[in-house]
Amino acid sequence: MDALRAFILPIALLVIFYFLLIRPQQKRDKKVKEMRSNLQVGDKIATIGGIVGKIVKVKEDQVTIEVGSDKTKFEIKKWAVGTNLNETE
């Protein structure tokens, strides 16, 4: 009986840890992955580095964005997209 009681506290802590930290992080990761897979031409995005631009081409794992008034274009990896500004508006 004492052995069972010794395991209850660590198991309870693991369950609490899972529901407070791990599960919410998995939900956020899933949402970000879904956002990155649904990027389309014309979407306005912000990269994780703070660059804001408009998507002009989408490839399997890269997007080409257009930034600035001189419409400079460059390619970035999809994992570098931080937010889709069209979804937040």
- Which tokens is 28 given? 């956020």
Cα–Cα separations (whole angstroms), residue 29 to 21, 25, 67, 74, 85: 12, 6, 27, 26, 18
| Predicted confidence (pLDDT) per residue in 42-66, tens digit | 999 999 999 999 999 999 999 999 9
| Predicted confidence (pLDDT) per residue in 61-76, tens digit | 999 999 999 999 999 9
Tell whether the model's pLDDT for residue 16 goes beyond 80.
yes
Q: Which fold has domain 2-88?
A: SH3 type barrels. (2.30.30)
**Residue 22 CB partners (closer than 8 Å, separation 6+):** none
How high is the pLDDT of residue 68?
92
pTM: 0.74
